[in-house]
Chains A and B, each alone.
Chain A
Amino acid sequence: MPNLRYLMVALALAGLMATGCSSSSSPPSTGPSTDGGSDGSKADAHAADTGVVEGGGVDGGDCAFADFVIGLVNKDTTATATPSTDLGASLEDSQQQSCFASLF
């Protein structure tokens, strides 16, 4: 029986890894900040209200940094957009390729 429990735990972990992250199939609706003036280390009041942390990622989840990057990629790609001064340094990077699956 102990072996079966170990197997179930292992399967659960594998499933979690296969799922990858919280929102890899669709980019976040809120893009990264472009107004600068922050090092991205603290969530502001607006972020607390909406669940979007400063840095642009969705609060929580293993794909926070990936979501931030996808937010940048899908931001405004016209000639008039200005770069984000927030580099997402406060966000956890799970380093999972699957977080970027929606791009390819």
Chain B
Amino acid sequence: MRLRTVVGALSFGALAVAPTLAQASSHREAPFITKNPKVDGTDVYAFESYEAGHAGMVTLIANYQPFQDAFAGPNYFQMDPDALYEILIDNNGDGVEDFTFQFQFKTVLGGTKNAGITLPIGPDGGQQSVAVPFYNVGLIPNAAITGNASALNVIETYSVGLVKGPRRGSAAKLLDNPGGGTSFNKPADNVGAKSFGTSASLGSPTAPSPALVSDYAAYAKNFIYSGVSIPGCTAKDATKAQVFVGQRSEPFAVNLGPTFDLIDAPATVVTNGGVAVGGFAAVPNPLAAKSVTTIAIELPRDCIVQSATQPVIGVWSTASVRQARVVNPAATYVEPSHEGGAWTQVSRLGNPLVNEVVIGLPDKDHWNSSEPTGDVANFGKYVEYPTLPAIIDVVFGTDFQPTVFPRTDLVAAFLTGLAPINAFPKGKTVIPAEYIHLNTNTEATVTTGPTPAGSQNRLGAALCFSEGALNTASLTPYAPATSCDPYGFPNGRRPIDDVVDLALDVVEGYLLPSGNPAYNNAVTDGGASTPVFFTDGVDQASVQFDATFPYITTPNQGANGNGT
């Protein structure tokens, strides 16, 4: 009897296993990652910073740990101290990372000598010092960025390393904390209004008094590190990087349950997307009550691009664990298991939904362990011959599936970028690679800076194209409110971009010049130009985002200060 397909899962004890929930953008999308929720990458965002005064900056966000319920005490959602979380950048299109930002976490107990907060229990003269079982035993103060070891019983810190060139080719150089040292602090999770205080009185502790909003937002802002320097970068903005890691509200919106229940929605709703019609907002976002853990870093463009004239980058995230794990049969807080060996990748994420609805089930774990250089050989057929359009036709009895194969339009959308917006310049070393393609200097093409938060179009840059080609007229000037927003997906990805609707439209052939019945293109097919825009019925733009770094907003609170 040998059950050791993965050595790292060797277990003589009980391993905690995630609850059974459905999937989303890349939430629990592959069988093996469901066993490792702390290293489950859920979404990646990469965009030109649209915060006022941040011209020339690029924001990269990698979210992990899906489906967090705010009330999930007493342990909540620490990052895995035995894992390596990475955000990778390819700046020349060869599919190999040129910059890798590595995040490693450390968790210690509060109390004296980090032995855990204790209370004296027992009669006078015979008291025992006994460790408490809770995450915190008092108000977690706003002012102390390091938390309060006398009240907060779980304290997380992290380091940020930078590797230039292949990520396993050399050791990382640690980024300095502007306040000193190389350790950064992670805020506690949003336990609730009572643990973080409220601007107003807590009021009556019994419902139905009004729910109160904790001061968590102000608390978490203390953990945004500004003025961080990028090692080895001499650009003028090299000291203006920002870093934040912490719990945030789930930024992804999708009609999750019905989507995986054979798309259980009326065809009239699913085909009622687009800009002007309202079907894309038919139902509330079921993920609105969930949270994730966000790793966000804002970088000077000039520190990461290949050159001033080649500003396209590829961005993706990964998580890796030590290859071997032996569970301690006499577990301690410090060492519940002994882990060692080479970093072994278990999560990979670039464009949303790829491993979710494109890669076949037998290859999903392979995908998570793979690198972009092998994408065409390993997964090319899933892109060139996608199953999703066929499934949609079967479910709805329609005939929308594009008739053009192989689907080079999908290769462009997901693996090469769309020329001339976000594709690498053609060259001998440029290969198709699945990651987010971002033009970090789109303003050089459209003359105006990144679309500000209030004017962004949830359908992004897709609407800058029609019938397979860039509609140059849509760029001069572009009109994001009604059509073309060149700063959005698939030119990078912003939080507001409705990637579910966009992905549906693209796989159904929106970018094809012909052979796409759903769009019945007027020019090339002689059709009536009455396109069908697909939607999952949930409006991504219904999610609230901040207009400033780290953009993903305050997480849901675990308790409301009124007994609920």
Which A residues contact B (CB, under 8 angstroms)?
A: 34, 65, 68-70, 72-84, 87-89, 93, 97, 100, 103-104
Q: Chain B residues near A65 (CB, 8 Å)?
A: 4
The distance from the CB of B336 to the nearest CB of chain A, in whole angstroms, is 11
Q: Chain B residues near A34 (CB, 8 Å)?
A: 342
A87 touching B5 in the complex, CB below 8 Å, given contacts A69-B10, A73-B324: yes
A104 touching B338 in the complex, CB below 8 Å, given contacts A80-B169, A87-B6: yes
User: Chain B interface residue count: which class?
Assistant: 20 to 34
Partner of B4, one of A74, A79, A93, A103: A93
A72-B12 in contact (CB<8A): no
Q: In this assembly, does B170 line the interface, its C-beta being within 8 Å of a C-beta of chain A?
A: yes
Bound-state CA distance A70–B344 (Å) is 16
Q: Chain B residues near A78 (CB, 8 Å)?
A: 171
Bound-state CA distance A65–B2 (Å) is 10
Q: Chain A residues near B205 (CB, 8 Å)?
A: none
Q: Chain B residues near A104 (CB, 8 Å)?
A: 328-330, 335, 338
A80-B338 in contact (CB<8A): no
Q: In this assembly, does B163 line the interface, its C-beta being within 8 Å of a C-beta of chain A?
A: yes
Closest residue of chain A to B325 (Cβ to Cβ) is: A73
A87 touching B329 in the complex, CB below 8 Å, given contacts A34-B342, A80-B170, A81-B343: no
Bound-state CA distance A82–B341 (Å) is 9
A72-B324 in contact (CB<8A): yes
Q: In this assembly, does B412 line the interface, its C-beta being within 8 Å of a C-beta of chain A?
A: no
The contact string, 1 if C-beta is below 8 Å from chain A, for chain B 1-15, is: 110111100101000
A100 touching B342 in the complex, CB below 8 Å, given contacts A69-B10, A81-B168, A88-B4: no
Bound-state CA distance A86–B328 (Å) is 23
Bound-state CA distance A88–B2 (Å) is 10
Q: In this assembly, does B221 line the interface, its C-beta being within 8 Å of a C-beta of chain A?
A: no
A72-B340 in contact (CB<8A): yes
Q: Chain A residues near B172 (CB, 8 Å)?
A: 79
A79 touching B343 in the complex, CB below 8 Å, given contacts A72-B323, A88-B7, A97-B12: yes
Bound-state CA distance A82–B169 (Å) is 10
Closest residue of chain A to B341 (Cβ to Cβ) is: A72
The distance from the CB of A22 to the nearest CB of chain B, in whole angstroms, is 18
Partner of A79, one of B6, B168, B328, B339: B168
A84-B323 in contact (CB<8A): yes
Q: Chain A residues near B339 (CB, 8 Å)?
A: 73
A103-B338 in contact (CB<8A): yes
B168-A69 in contact (CB<8A): no
Candidate in B1, B340, B341 with the most chain A CB atoms within 10 angstroms = B341
Q: Chain A residues near B343 (CB, 8 Å)?
A: 79, 81, 83
Q: In this assembly, does B282 line the interface, its C-beta being within 8 Å of a C-beta of chain A?
A: no
The contact string, 1 if C-beta is below 8 Å from chain A, for chain B 317-340, is: 000001110101110000100111
Bound-state CA distance A103–B329 (Å) is 11
The distance from the CB of A47 to the nearest CB of chain B, in whole angstroms, is 19
A69-B5 in contact (CB<8A): no
Bound-state CA distance A82–B335 (Å) is 24
Candidate in A34, A65, A70, A104 with the most chain B CB atoms within 10 angstroms = A104
The distance from the CB of B3 to the nearest CB of chain A, in whole angstroms, is 9
Which 7 A-B residue pairings sit nearest by Cβ, starting from the closest? A73-B340, A81-B342, A72-B324, A72-B341, A83-B344, A103-B338, A83-B342
